[in-house]
Each structure stands twice: as C-alpha cells, then as structure tokens.
C-alpha cells in the first residue's frame, strides 16, 4: 500500500508556522517589520498577558488594497520581491511572504487596513481561514490584532515561559525597533500601561533616553566615521556608565539588529585600560555597509551576519570609537584646571602602639593559619581562652592591613575581610527573616530604564526581603529610602540594576540566586581595596574580625589573611640559617 500523502494546507501551515512563530515576541517582530517595510512613521504596539492573549500593531504606512489584504495571508505571498534577481538587492526587512500566513495559522487574526485612494477593509481569520470580511472606515495604514496565540497548537503553548518573561522578550524587540529607527515614532503599551515611547525626532540620543533612561543618554559620546565603504555612527557610553554585562549593547546593520562577536570585540578593544575587568561598555551603533560586502544569504530570523571582510569592518568600528574616546579625553584635559599648590595632609595616626584585647585563641589561630571556620571549631575545644596582644602596624598600598600578633605578621585584605563580615551578618539576618535594611540618611534617587523600572516593581517584594524600601519617583526613577547596607549612590544603583538583571534573566526569581544577591550586597558595601582607611576604621574592622568567627575567604573565595611568621622573616634575613 502506498504510504506517502500530501499534507493538507492547514497542517503544513501549522508546521511551517513553527519556524517563524516561536512566541509572542516573534509575532511582534514580524508585524513591526511589516510596518517598517510599509513606510510607517509611527508604530503602536500593544500586548496583554505577555502577548499570549492579545497583540496589536498599528501603523500609518501604505496600507493594503482589499485584494492585497486577502492575499497577504497566503503562504509565499509577498509584494517585496518578484523575480530571482530581486533577491540580490533586498532593501526590505521581509521578503519571504511567510509571516502573516504562519501567524494566522496559529491564532485568531483581525486585519484593518486602508491604502491611499481605496476603501478600508476589515478581515477576520481563524486558524488561517477567513471568517468574515467587511468594508471599514479607517485612516490610511494597517492594524493587525492577534488573539489567543497557539490556541490550536497546545504543544507549542507548553514551551512558553511566564507572562513576565514573554513580555520581556517583546520589550527587547521594541527596544531594538526604537534604537534601529530614530525616525519612527514608537509607542509600546503593556497590559494597558504605556511602557516605552520614542518621538521619532530622528535623534538616536532621544531613543537611548527612551530605552535606557537619562544616565545613558547623557553619558554617551557620538561616534561617526565613513571610510572604506563602511559608515559607522551612533552612541557609545563613557567608561562611567559601563555595566556588568553586555545587555546594553547593540549593532544595527543597514537598519537590522545583528549580533557579531568579533565586531563587539573590536568595539570593546577601543576601551582598553579604561574599564575595570568584568565591565562592558554601553553602545548603540549603526553600520551602513553596501549589501555586496555582506552575506545576505542568511535566514532572516538569524541575527548573525557574515561579512566579506570582517577584519576591515572591525577596524572601522575600532577607530570610530577610539577617536571619540580620545577626543573626549582631550576635552576633559582642557577643562581640567590643576591645583596650584599641593596640600599635604598627614595620614591620621594609627592606634598606638599595642592594644590589649580579649581574644579567643581560635580566632587568632584562624588568622594565623587561614583555616576554615569548621576546621577551627574542630580544633578549638581544648584550647583555653587566652589574652593575646596585637598591634596594628598600618595599611599597605591602601589595600592591606598589617598587624603584628605575637610572633606573626598578618596581612589582611581589607576588602575581602570586610566583605566576609558583611556577608555573614546579612545572611544571618536574611535567613532569620529579620530586616536587613538600614534607613539611608538622605534618600537616594536612582534613574532606571523603563524595562528595569517595570521589572523592579514586578519584583518589589524580593527587594523588600533584601532590605530595600523603594518608592516610585516618576519618569522611571525611584527613591531608595532604605538599603541593605549604607553604600554610595553609584554602588546602590549597581546593586539594584544587577538584582534586576538576575530577576530578568531567570524570569522568575529562583532561590539559588539568594546567596549570590547577598554576596553582591556585601561586595558593594565593603570598603574597596585602594581606599585609605583611618586608624579608627581599621581598628573597628580588625575588632570585628576577631570577635566573629569568620571563614578564611571572602564570599568569592579569595583569602582574607596571609601570615608570615617571625621565623620565616628571620630566615629570609639570614639571622637564622
Ligand atoms: P513579507 O513581509 O515577507 O512580504 P508577510 O507575510 O509578512 O511577508 O506579509 C505579506 C505581505 O503583506 C507583504 O509583502 C505586504 O505586501 C503585506 N503587508 C503585511 N503587513 C503590512 C502592513 N503593515 N502594511 C502594508 N502591507 C503589509
Ligand atoms: Mg513580513
């Protein structure tokens, strides 16, 4: 018996839809790209419940005639290419004629459209088939509403994440849309609330303001270069607004968002020595490159692109960014007025000379030997408490505290030690469900990006559990009244944004992040290496360390203390052989 059958269009459309329509974000991406291809200068996107129940995209582009509207939902129906030769010079974002057919196969669609000089039309489709059609009075342009995504493909539905996560994916698409087209006005509404708005004034800086907030719009430099057929333009962040990850980086190639590791590397190289390790610059950079220098034969959904000469493109990016950074440094130099006289301030005296303190010998042995607290506890039972003496000798390189303790010199890494102290304290409080927070002397205002702002208030309870008291302050800024620890504004902002990132990347908050978050708080709140500490501060820290029973490493695993014995020293000086 013959086995092979041709699948019905309904089934084959559903299967094909799987390639184009993965989730609500991919629907939004296709609809928005169609709006751009239609020449729209204004695009409104609205979603509800992560886009699963409702997606609307409205544009003021060219619209469709009645016949085109009916054809638009057929597979391989496109107005963007006609013959094979058109494939060589594609100027539009779409050209495969698959998106609308695929979307309509797995949802309920309403289309309202009107082309210049034509009557408007309203179409309703379900599972790819037409349900109703009627003439409609509407302005020129197109509105597409997609309801109940995947209602007829439950298997797909299972792969979707929470509404919040799906919303995040859609937001990413809209953010890129805004950054890719400063000339288009974009409004984005989530569950009835305006989330993002860009005016379409043609300025990339306004787009950066809309997407990432004031700090990024103000703290970035213009980049512009046009050599060797590669036009590089856009904005790159000053070192001060660098971030702990690469989320705020985007390249657009001929208007299309792309990902490319070697171009990212080339751009970051322009910052050499300007950024701390683990920090990445912010950038939104547009590349205009003749199509023949780019491999266009890639799937339109793929964001990776190949260049005929990637090194050359990388070089152009490097020099474009480098020149802006150098120019900025020059300007700073010019405006910097050096002080005429150098004022010498003596270092405050350290505690003189020997302090007697009740010390538990186990604490001393911890400092001396750098063993784990657990090991010490196993060692300690038969060691009686004794009176030990230590002397703070001073601070080395503004980073290490030197103490003399009996026959030993102990070097303490001030940051690692302080970090461990804070970590243990807040972890205990957190586990006991006690308030970690400390009321700030003056509340701190922090500006966030619209996405960060939304994510923060979606997760406000977690912030509360970690000791934050945060109020809305308007215009995507927040007022922090209480924080887990007193720290300066910069650190506070970075703890908050890194928290948000963790929540955002994990979708929902996972308990495995708790420890990491406590670590982060401790790290930000602890005194940094390279900062001079006063005598009293050193004393307080050392006293703290000796009083507690800490582990020998900071939460990241670096040692807190190193010991050199007198014997070792004397051997080095050949006093003993
Ligand atoms: P493609 O974009 O690859 O051509 P689509 O399935 O996305 O395929 O769209 C099919 C066709 O429908 C497009 O080629 C275009 O002619 C028309 N179309 C879709 N969306 C719009 C819109 N917002 N405004 C005007 N025409 C549109
Ligand atoms: Mg399309």
Which of helix, strand or coil describes residue 156? helix
Site to substitute for ligand 1 among 26, 34, 300, most atoms within 8 A of C-beta: 34
Interatomic CA distance for residues 295 and 301, integer angstroms? 14
Cite the DSSP H helix spans in 111-234. 154-157, 163-180, 204-212, 214-218
| Residue of minimum CA distance from atom 27 in ligand 1 | 34
Positive or negative torsion for Cα 519, 371, 418, 239:
negative
Q: Is 55 in the pocket of ligand 1 (CB under 6 A)?
A: no
Contact 379, 362 (CB under 8 A): yes
Residues, CB within 5 angstroms of ligand 2 (ion) = 34, 94, 99
Distances in Å between the alpha carbon of 211 and those of 219, 312, 391, 450? Answer: 14, 30, 54, 6
Query: Which residue's alpha carbon is nearest to atom 17 within ligand 1?
Result: 72
Strands 469-472 and 477-483, bridge-based pairing: antiparallel
30 lines ligand 1 (CB under 6 A): yes
Q: Is the CB of 509 under 6 A from ligand 1?
A: no
For 138, the token pair is: 């509407």
CA gap 35, 44 in Å, rounded: 10
Structural domains in the chain plus CATH codes: 9-198 (3.30.565.10), 204-335 (3.30.230.10), 350-505+512-577 (3.30.1540.20)
Cα 259 to middle of ligand 1, angstroms? 25
C-alpha to C-alpha distance for 85 and 301, rounded to whole angstroms: 21
Bridge partner list, 531: none
**What ligand has the least distance to the C-alpha of 40?**
1
CA of 72 to the centre of ligand 2 (A): 10
Residues ≥6 apart with Cβ < 8 Å to 336: none
Helix/strand/coil for 440: strand
Q: How far is the CA of 35 from the centre of ligand 1 (A)?
A: 8
Number of C-beta neighbours around residue 530 at 10 A: 10
Tell me how far the alpha carbon of residue 530 is from its chain's centroid.
28
Q: Would the CB of 142 count as within 6 Å of ligand 1? A: yes
Q: Which ligand is nearest to the CA of 36?
A: 1
State whether residue 25 is helix, strand or coil: helix
- Tokens 């979307």 — which residue? 103
The Cα–Cα gap between 34 and 30 comes to 6
Nearest CA to ligand 1 atom 25: 63
411-428 burial, b if ≥16 CB within 10 A, otherwise e? bbbbbbbbbbbbbbbbbe
β-partners of residue 389 are: 356
Q: What's the DSSP call for residue 239?
A: G
Ligand 2 centroid vs 285 CA: distance in angstroms?
A: 24
Six-digit token string for 327? 């120019």
* Residue owning the nearest CA to atom 20 of ligand 1: 34
Between the CA of 18 and the centroid of ligand 1 the distance, in Å, is 19
Q: Is 90 in the pocket of ligand 1 (CB under 6 A)?
A: no
3-state SS, 267-303, equals HHHCCCCCCCCCCECCEEEEEECCHHHEECCCCCCCC
Tokens of 193: 């609330």
Ligand 1 in contact with 97 (CB < 6 A)? yes
pTM, two decimal places: 0.74
63 Cβ contact list (under 8 Å, min separation 6)? 38, 113, 114, 115, 116, 118, 120, 140, 141, 142
pLDDT along the chain (577 residues), means of 10: 80 75 94 96 97 97 95 86 74 82 94 96 90 92 96 84 87 96 97 95 96 92 96 95 89 91 94 85 96 69 79 95 90 59 38 33 34 40 42 91 88 91 87 85 90 88 90 90 86 88 65 80 87 86 73 78 90 90
Ligand 2 centroid to Cα of residue 97, in Å, is: 6
pLDDT of residue 402: 92
Do you know the residue count of the chain? Answer: 577
Q: What is the pLDDT of residue 82?
A: 77
Mutate to test the pocket of ligand 1, among 56, 72, 73 (most ligand atoms within 8 A of CB): 72
Q: Is 504 in the pocket of ligand 1 (CB under 6 A)?
A: no
CB 287 within 8 A of CB 313: yes
Distance of alpha carbon 314 from alpha carbon 322, whole angstroms: 12
Are 185 and 196 in contact by the 8 Å Cβ rule? The answer is no
Which residue's C-alpha comes closest to atom 12 of ligand 1?
Answer: 72
């Amino acid at each position: 018996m013959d086995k092979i059958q041709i699948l019905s269009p309904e089934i084959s459309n559903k299967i094909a839809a799987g390639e184009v329509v993965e989730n609500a974000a991919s629907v939004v991406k296709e609809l928005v790209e169609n709006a751009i291809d239609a020449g729209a200068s204004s695009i409104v996107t609205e979603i509800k419940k992560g886009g699963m129940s409702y997606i609307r995209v409205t544009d003021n582009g060219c619209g469709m005639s009645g016949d085109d509207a009916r054809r638009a939902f057929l597979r391989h129906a496109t107005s963007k290419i006609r013959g094979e030769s058109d494939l060589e010079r594609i100027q539009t974002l779409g050209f495969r004629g698959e998106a609308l057919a695929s979307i309509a196969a797995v949802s309920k669609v309403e289309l309202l459209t009107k082309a210049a000089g034509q009557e408007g039309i309203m179409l309703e489709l379900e599972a790819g088939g037409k349900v109703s059609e009627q003439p409609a009075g509407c302005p020129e342009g197109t509105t597409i509403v997609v309801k109940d995504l995947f209602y007829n493909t439950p298997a797909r539905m299972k792969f979707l994440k929470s509404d919040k996560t799906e919303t995040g994916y859609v937001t990413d698409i809209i953010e890129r849309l805004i950054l890719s087209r400063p000339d288009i006005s974009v409004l984005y509404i989530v569950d009835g609330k305006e989330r993002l708005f860009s005016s379409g004034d043609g300025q990339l800086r306004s787009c950066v303001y809309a997407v990432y907030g004031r700090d990024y719009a103000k703290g970035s430099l213009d980049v512009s270069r046009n050599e060797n057929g590669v036009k590089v333009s856009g904005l790159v962040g000053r070192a001060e607004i660098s971030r702990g990850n690469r989320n705020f980086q985007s390249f657009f190639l001929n208007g299309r968002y792309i990902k490319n590791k070697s171009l990212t590397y080339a751009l970051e190289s322009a910052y050499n020595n300007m950024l701390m390790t683990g920090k990445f610059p912010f950038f939104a950079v547009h590349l205009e490159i003749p199509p023949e220098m780019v491999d266009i034969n890639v799937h339109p959904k793929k964001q990776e692109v190949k260049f005929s000469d990637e090194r050359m493109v990388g070089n152009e990016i490097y020099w474009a960014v480098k020149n802006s950074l150098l120019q900025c440094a020059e300007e700073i130099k010019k405006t910097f007025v050096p002080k005429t006289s150098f004022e010498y301030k003596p270092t405050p005296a350290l505690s003189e000379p020997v302090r007697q303190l009740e010390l538990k010998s186990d604490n001393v042995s911890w400092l001396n030997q750098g063993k784990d607290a657990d090991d010490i506890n196993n060692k300690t039972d038969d060691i009686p408490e004794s009176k030990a003496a230590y002397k703070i000798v001073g601070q080395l390189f503004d980073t290490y505290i030197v103490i003399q303790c009996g026959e030993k010199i102990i070097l303490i890494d001030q940051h690692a030690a302080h970090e461990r102290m804070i970590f243990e304290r807040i972890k205990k409080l957190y586990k006991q469900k006690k308030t970690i927070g400390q009321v700030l002397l003056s509340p701190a205002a922090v500006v966030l990006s619209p996405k960060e702002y939304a994510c923060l208030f979606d997760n406000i309870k977690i912030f509360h559990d970690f000791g934050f008291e945060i109020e809305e302050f308007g215009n995507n800024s927040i007022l922090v009244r209480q924080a887990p620890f007193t720290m300066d504004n910069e650190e506070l902002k970075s703890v908050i944004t890194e928290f948000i990132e963790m929540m955002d990347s994990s979708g929902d908050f996972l308990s495995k992040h708790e420890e990491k978050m406590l670590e982060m708080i401790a790290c930000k709140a602890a005194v940094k290496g390279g900062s001079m500490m006063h005598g009293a501060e050193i004393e307080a820290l050392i006293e703290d360390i000796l009083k507690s029973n800490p582990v020998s490493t900071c939460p990241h695993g670096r040692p807190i203390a190193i010991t050199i014995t007198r014997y070792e020293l004397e051997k080095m000086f050949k006093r003993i052989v």
